[in-house]
Amino acid sequence: MEPLSSPLFASLLAAVSWLVIAALALVPAGNAFFARRLAFPLGALIGLSLASFGLQSIWLHAEQLTLPLGLPDLPFHLRIDPLAGFFLLLLGSVSAGISVYAGGYFRTETAGRLALISLQYHMFLASMAFVILADDAYLFMVAWETMALSSYFLVTTDHERPAIRSAGFLYLLVAHLGAIAILLCFGVMHGGGDYSFDALRGAELTPFWATVAFLLAFFGFGAKAGMIPLHAWLPEAHPAAPSPVSALMSGIMLKTAIYGMVRVIYDLIGGVRWEWGIVVLAIGAGTTLFGVLYALMQHDLKRLLAYHSVENIGIILLGLGMSMVFLGFGHPLAGALGLVAALYHTLNHAVFKALLFLGAGSILHATGLRNLNDMGGLIRTMPKTALYFLIGALAISALPPLNGFVSEWLTFQTALQAPLLEHGVVRSLLPLFAATLALAGALTAMCFVKVYGIAFLGRPREVRHPAHARAEGGGHDAGSMEQYGMAWLAAGCLVLGLFPTSFLLMLNRVGVSLTGQGLSPEALESSWLWLVPTAPERASYSPIIFLLVVLAVVLITIRLVRGFYHGRVRVADPWDCGFPEQTTRMQDTADAFGQPIRHVFGPLYLMKRHLPGPEEANPRYSIKIEDRHWYWLYLPVARLADYASSKVGLLQRGRISIYLLYSFLTLIALLIFVR
């Protein structure tokens, strides 16, 4: 294949084009015409082209390229293979919808502010592409840090507010802690040659050092992904960032961490051990339950979605952990199924979570509200946004025939392969982890019944400022570009859910490239109508047939109701419980909806209640749920750092004679201990 027409060169050109757009956005300093009208649509077109190059590379052999850039002895290496191609497909396709949406969302920004947003936005996209294309530790870390810095500036777009600056600082702190762990992981794998990934693959690690490298990689990439207890930045950064940026971070950036985790553990380290899988499963189960339980307690819509990102990262880790367990015990077919399930959910979460964040952004633009308790009746004035948000809510709730169900069903099918394991304890643990996933799915459905019912149904619960809304229930619907972006992602939820067999073939290529083993022949040779994870006699699922059956039941029910009960419906006022003076404030709130869960899982929450007193003019009962990790982990570490800093600060006296004494003592120590 000619170098200029190869998927690798084309992907490199697409990533560089994003950098060009980032630079051009700064050129028209006066009117920002390019940044306002052209930058984001062009960025979307580049995303679509990158997705096509990634899809093409999944079916081809790996390609490598060395760039004439970098340090004299450390040039940049690029590589594209099925794993990189899959994540380029994810990056390009999802960012295309977000970029179209962003073109409408940011249009009202001032010229100077918009130019900076466009610069950082497209730099962010390009850095994620280079993370996926990097084939050496040097370029990987440069792109990784560029991704962290550009996203930090996007999070702190409204840096005038102290809370947003604090959220950005926390995000940058956790990101750099993770980067240090990743750098140490590369150092452990360094086998004496250069830092190219080929050299790291060839390094022969003892079981101990391989485990050290795994733990460092799992901690480093897990910090960026948002697994517990390193999740604290997500519920702070996502509400602070503009909604398209939140969609990029949750939908795509978290997936680059999953990419790094899979690349290092499955590809660079290799020799996956079942003990590693147990660690991943335990953390994944805790992350899944923690995320959904705290999401149920939130009334800030973007904060709620951030906690669901934590939950879905846990679901991905469950699939990866099961894959590692089966591979470690020598069952490659079941291990490949777990890997495929995890990667499928990675793509699904990118699509439906980006859609939900864009829907939240449309609500924020139209009404100025993020608090669910202040919303209500938005479906009347925002019907299209309500439709797209409903599709995303059904998808994240794992309801068939949408995409969230397919990947979670594949994860369950992986857990059902537990009888293959010879280890009795591990065999008994897998169903428990599957039960965790089932519980999380039910709680997620409950949470989005709350979100959709309170935000879009009913009536507004509060009298809001006229600037927040122009009519009862909300303001105007999303603009045309915003609707196009949401429609693209909503279509993705439908396609990924209705035609899973096509994506299963694609993901099987990724599994073969990493483990040398794909899915069973029965699964790959099944018809396009049926999704078969292992064998038809064990389990199969057809989303098309399921959809047709549901539509038939609905149509028959409507026909029967109209035929037998038409005209017999009696219209009357609802029962008022003997108190006719009802107001919209008497509707259930987000806090009230979560009360049963709060009662059952009370010990997991740190609750602070406010009971109104008789002297308050506008009495309100309120409850605040705080994360115990702040008090168990983060605050003790912060206090220890402050204490150590205060002691180290005593060394800085500001006197030259003291500093000369330090130098003299250091020289004496070197003469004594260093030969």
Segment 178-207, tens digit of pLDDT: 999 999 999 888 866 678 888 888 888 889
Mean pLDDT of 384-395: 94
What three-state secondary structure class fits 285? helix
Confidence check: pLDDT of 675 > 70: no
Q: pLDDT, tens digit, for every residue of 410-429? A: 999 999 998 888 888 888 89
Across the chain, mean pLDDT equals: 86
- Please provide residue 618's backbone torsions phi and psi, each rounded to the nearest 5 degrees: -125, 75
Residue 20: CB atoms within 10 A of its CB come to 13
Task: Sort 207 into a burial class: Cβ within 10 Å, 0-12 / 13-18 / 19+.
Answer: exposed
Q: Which of 4-18, 285-299, 508-522, 593-607 has the lowest mean pLDDT?
A: 593-607
Does position 291 have pLDDT exceeding 50, yes or no?
yes
Which is nearest to 40 in space by CA: 388, 360, 481, 361?
481
Q: Cα separation of 95 and 607, whole Å? A: 38
pLDDT tens per residue, range 603-637: 788 777 767 767 766 766 677 777 787 778 878 88
What amino acid occupies position 373?
Answer: N
Q: Which residue has the tokens 């077109």?
A: 45
Give dist(CA 512, CA 519) in Å, integer: 8
601 pLDDT higher than 60:
yes
- In this prediction, residue 192 carries a pLDDT of 62
Above pLDDT 70, what percent of the chain?
93
Pairing of strands 622-626, 74-80: unpaired
Report for 255-264, 600-609, 660-669: range of highest mean pLDDT: 255-264
- Which range, of 53-67, 325-339, 510-524, averages the lowest pLDDT? 510-524
Which pLDDT value is given to residue 542?
A: 86
Instruction: Write down the domain spans for the chain.
Output: 630-673
Question: What sign results for the dihedral spanned by CA atoms 580, 582, 588, 591?
Answer: negative
pLDDT score for 445: 93
Lowest mean pLDDT among 208-222, 481-495, 637-651: 637-651
Which pLDDT value is given to residue 665? Answer: 86
How far is it, in rounded angstroms, from Cα 509 to Cα 484? 32
Mean pLDDT over 39-46 rounds to: 93
Residues 421, 429 contacting (CB under 8 angstroms): no
φ/ψ of 369, rounded to 5, equals -115, 140
In this predicted model, what pLDDT tens digit does every residue of 445-465 receive, in sequence order? 999 999 998 888 877 766 554
> CA distances (Å), 130 to each of 56, 142, 465, in order?
18, 9, 45
Between CA 656 and CA 630 the distance in angstroms is 41
- What number is the average pLDDT over the span 105-129? 89
Average pLDDT, stretch 12-26? Answer: 91
Other Cβ atoms within 10 Å of 23 Cβ, number: 12
pLDDT-derived band at 300, boundaries 50, 70, 90: confident
Q: What is the pTM of this model?
A: 0.91
pLDDT tens across 209-224, in order?
A: 999 999 999 999 999 9
